[in-house]
Amino acid sequence: MTTLVFEKNSMLNTTILCNSSPSPAYTVSTRWPTSPTNIRAANTDELVGRINPRTFMPDTIMLPHAYGGEELRVSKWLKREKLGDGSPASVLSLGEERRFLVVHKEYGLALLAADTKTILAHWRPETSSSRLALIISHGLEKFETEILVAFLFEEGRLRSGKGNNSGGVASAISGALMGESVL
């Protein structure tokens, strides 16, 4: 299992530690809220992902080590679907497997296996004793950057009010406690 711990509860500007290592694994930086968000390997400063939110054009992402390094429309990369129970999901294809990124009542966001019951990755919400973290199941290490970018994009979308639940992790959890429909 991989635990990516966020130094700040921010999807735009933060440093991310891996498995409680004192050395940063990633840096996330954004100049302005509507400018591209760059995700870099902290030890080399190599760009490993970019989220490009756009006002009048489709949002895009770029993962230099996936999809031939080409910029992709988010709508082609995270395809919207309804699950069997009618709840919304974003489909993320990792290798040959389809995974489902969903708003989850306990974790805010969770990545589900094709069976839609097994949680493969999820937020560990910030509390008074622990920082926000992304928990990724064993066996998905080679997709770590792609999963991180997907969670950053979806959480940013939720926090900006573009998603079904406008407050991100904290709002999704409190909404679930208030009886709103989330997984």
pLDDT in tens, 132-154: 999 999 999 999 999 999 999 99
Q: What is the pTM of this model?
A: 0.86
- Pick the closest to residue 140 from 112, 107, 109, 117 (CA basis): 112
For 70, what's the count of Cα atoms within 13 Å in the CB-facing half-sphere? 7
Assign 114 to helix, strand or coil: coil
80-106 residue pLDDT tens: 999 999 999 999 999 889 999 999 999
Say if domain 2-177 classifies as CATH 2.40.160. yes
Question: What phi and psi, each to the nearest 5 degrees, are found at residue 23?
Answer: -90, 135
Assign 111 to helix, strand or coil: strand
Q: Name the average pLDDT for the chain.
A: 88
Over residues 103-116, the mean pLDDT reads: 95
Query: 125 vs 43, 76, 78, 85, 95, CA distance in Å?
Result: 26, 28, 23, 25, 28
160-169 residue pLDDT tens: 877 654 445 5
Rounded CA-CA distance 111/101 in Å is 4
6-65 residue pLDDT tens: 999 888 899 999 987 888 999 999 988 778 999 999 999 999 999 999 888 999 999 999
Q: What's residue 81's pLDDT? A: 95
* Amino acid, res. 87: S
Rounded CA-CA distance 93/24 in Å is 27
Rounded CA-CA distance 182/102 in Å is 8
For the chain, where are the alpha helices, taking DSSP H only? 74-77, 144-160, 168-177
